[in-house]
Structure formats: structure tokens, C-alpha cells
Amino acid sequence: MQMTFRWYGENNDSVSLDQIKQIPGVDGLVWALHHRAAGEVWPEEEIMEVKKQADAYGFHLDVVESINVHEDIKLGKSTRDEYIENYKTSIRNVAKAGAKVVCFNFMPVFDWTRTDLYKELEDGSTALFYEKAKVDNMDPNDLIKQITNSGYTMPGWEPERLKTIKESFKAYEEVDEEQIWANLEYFLREVLPVAEEVDIKLAIHPDDPPWPVFNLPRLITSEQAIERYLAISDSPSHCLTLCSGSLGANPNNDIPAIIRRFHDRIAFAHIRNVRIYENGDFIETSHRTQDGSVPIDDIVKAYHENGFEGYARPDHGRHLWNEECRPGYGLYDRALGIMHLWGLWDAYELVKKKEERE
């Protein structure tokens, strides 16, 4: 397991590179050109600028999260080919900075969805929260207002994307789930050969939450969906970002079983916990198994017993000790998360070595 930390870039993150440097066992940054809208080419000079910043601290840039997919590609519009060509150029360009994994998602309109960015937990910390009934009865515009009020541009909630929200919703009225699968397949047939050529793994992120939101279809929601997705191609570049928190919001998803089954296709592991309530609401918690509904200990065990050599990151964290930070992306809880993940990993490693000696 190679540990990484998501960093939003200079002047775009409350966490600095010298802080990240002091978290034990972190070798690389998970990065993106966040100012580039979906569909745009990522210019080489801008990528090399990030590389310079990372190099100064000895961090690698092996993992990109995310090169976003333009809505026209998801909708299968006639304009998609131009955006797909741009995507290929961006893949080639990030490869020049050493990228090995490109995370992306194929979620219609919105990336992740939550109803509250600062819901208080019983210990006084706050975390991202999803209230099912609220989403079922909410106007998407109200949610947009709430999320964009945080003062940060949130990934998946970029102004360019939100500008065309009405048209996007309208366009999806004509497109059903099967068509989106077909559009996804079309996209993959185009970009996978390029990814292979430059030795990059394209790792799809599951839908968050793993069920339809505002009547928009969701594709990557379960073990069966992952099975279908992986069957699209045998390319070594056809991979997964296995997000335990996204899939884990549905208690029917057995994440350790999914890891044991598909570990050789997981290029990037997002590891975080959520607590699911009986009415289907969920809140993000500390990484510890006992604090939520996702068995983080067994998840790390599943990775460890399969000799997982891919990249991992602690994903979201709570907001602790009055930290002012991007929602879900503070320093403290993610650093605690990393220590917890390494603690589990090292303990499993110790047991394995002991067993080998006996």
C-alpha cells in the first residue's frame, strides 16, 4: 500500500505541503488542475508547475484525482468527440509528470451529494452528512446554494458545471441508465488505448451516494455494477478507485468481499468510514470501525492479505479542533486516519511475518 494525501494546490488548500510532509508514511500527493473545467485540455506547463512544487518536498504525483468527464460525453451528445480528444491529450500530458493513475467518475450532473457539510457529531466535531428525506424533497438549486456557500469551490460543484444545471437536468430526462452505460463504454473504447500507451491506469470512482439522486441515474453502485464495468475491457488500464465510504453508504455492499474479489483491478483505494442510520441517512465519522458502519479493520486486512501495492488515501475526515478547512479535507482527521490505517497494516504485517517464521 502506498499512502497519498489529497492536496488542492497552492492558494487553494488550507493544508500546506510542509504540514503533509510531517504525516508519517505519505509519499505522494493526489492532485488535479482544479481550475480547469471538465472538457478542457490540461496544459503541460501548468502540470509541470505542480510537479515543481511537489518535487520541492519529495512528493510524487502518481495519482491524479480527477480529470473530470464533460457532461456531453456522459450524455452521448454529438459534441462528445472533441471533449474525448481533449481528455486523451490531458492523459498524455499528466503522464509526462509521472502520473500512473487517473481517477475519474461518470456520475450524471453532480459528483458527490450531501445535505449538510458541517453536521455536529456527539463529540463536538463536524462532518459531511446526508439526509435522505431532505434530498427526496429538495430543489437541487437549494442544495447547490448550500454547498457553494462554504466559501470553497468544491470538486464536482464547480461554477462552470452549475451554470448549465437546468439544461443538464433536462438533457437527462431523455437518457436512461442503459444509454449512460453505452456512453461510458464509448468513452472507454476511446481513452483506454491512450492510457495503455502511456502506462496509466484509469480508475473509475463509484457513485456517491450509491443510489439515484434527484431522479438522476447512478451506475457504479454495487458489486454487480463493478462486475459489469470491469467486463467492458481486459485492458490493464481498466481499473477501479475503490471508495469504501461511497459504496459503504449502502449496507448491502460488502466492501471487504468486493476488495477480495477485485483487488487486482483496484489501482486506488479511498478508505473512510460512514455511520448509517436506520432511515438511510449517513454521516462521515473517524476511520475507526467502531465509530461507523464500515469495517475499516477488515478492509485493510483484505488489502493486506492480497499484497495490495496500489495507492491509498484516507479520503474525507471530520473537522476537528476548530480547524478551518475545505469541508471533508482538513489536516487533523485525515492525518489521524493515516495513522490508523498504517497501524492496522503494520499489525497485520507483524502477524504475517510471525506466521511465516513458525
Q: Coil, helix or strand for 152? A: coil
Of residues 316 and 340, the one with the C-beta less far from ligand DNO: 316
Of residues 263 and 326, the one with the C-beta less far from ligand DNO: 326
CB atoms within 10 A of CB 122: 5
Backbone torsions φ then ψ of 208, nearest 5 degrees: -130, 110
CA-angle at 309, arms to 67 and 251, nearest 5°: 70
Q: Cα dist. 339→13, 24, 294, 305, 344 in Å?
A: 21, 7, 18, 19, 9
Q: In angstroms, what is the minimal distance from the CB of 67 to ligand DNO? A: 9
Q: In angstroms, what is the minimal distance from the CB of 23 to ligand DNO? A: 18
Q: In angstroms, what is the minimal distance from the CB of 205 to ligand DNO? A: 4
Q: In angstroms, what is the minimal distance from the CB of 45 to ligand DNO? A: 24
Using CA atoms of 51, 148, 272, 315 in order, give the dihedral in degrees to the nearest 10.
Answer: 0
Q: In angstroms, what is the minimal distance from the CB of 97 to ligand DNO? A: 19
Length of the chain equals: 358
Q: Coil, helix or strand for 77? A: coil
Grid cell locating 23: 504525516
Q: In angstroms, what is the minimal distance from the CB of 272 to ligand DNO? A: 9
Of residues 156 and 301, the one with the C-beta less far from ligand DNO: 156
Classify residue 291 by its DSSP letter. Answer: G
Of residues 47 and 220, the one with the C-beta less far from ligand DNO: 220
**Please, are residues 218 and 181 in contact by the beta-carbon 8 Å criterion?**
no
Going along 112-246, which residue ranges are E strands? 116-120, 126-130, 201-204, 238-243
Of residues 55 and 111, the one with the C-beta less far from ligand DNO: 111
Q: In angstroms, what is the minimal distance from the CB of 122 to ligand DNO? A: 23
Q: Coil, helix or strand for 29? A: strand
Q: In angstroms, what is the minimal distance from the CB of 326 to ligand DNO? A: 9
Binding site for ligand DNO (CB under 6 A): 65-66, 103-105, 111-112, 155-156, 205, 316, 328
Of residues 34 and 305, the one with the C-beta less far from ligand DNO: 34
Of residues 51 and 316, the one with the C-beta less far from ligand DNO: 316
CB atoms within 10 A of CB 327: 19
**Please, are residues 286 and 336 in contact by the beta-carbon 8 Å criterion?**
yes
Q: In angstroms, what is the minimal distance from the CB of 62 to ligand DNO? A: 16
The enclosing H or E element of 60 equals strand 60-65
Of residues 42 and 112, the one with the C-beta less far from ligand DNO: 112
CB atoms within 10 A of CB 65: 24
* Cα 285 to Cα 343: distance, rounded to the nearest angstrom: 18
Of residues 205 and 287, the one with the C-beta less far from ligand DNO: 205
CA-angle at 301, arms to 347 and 3, nearest 5°: 75
Q: In angstroms, what is the minimal distance from the CB of 208 to ligand DNO? A: 6
48 contacts: CB under 8 Å, gap ≥ 6: 96, 97
Of residues 14 and 306, the one with the C-beta less far from ligand DNO: 14
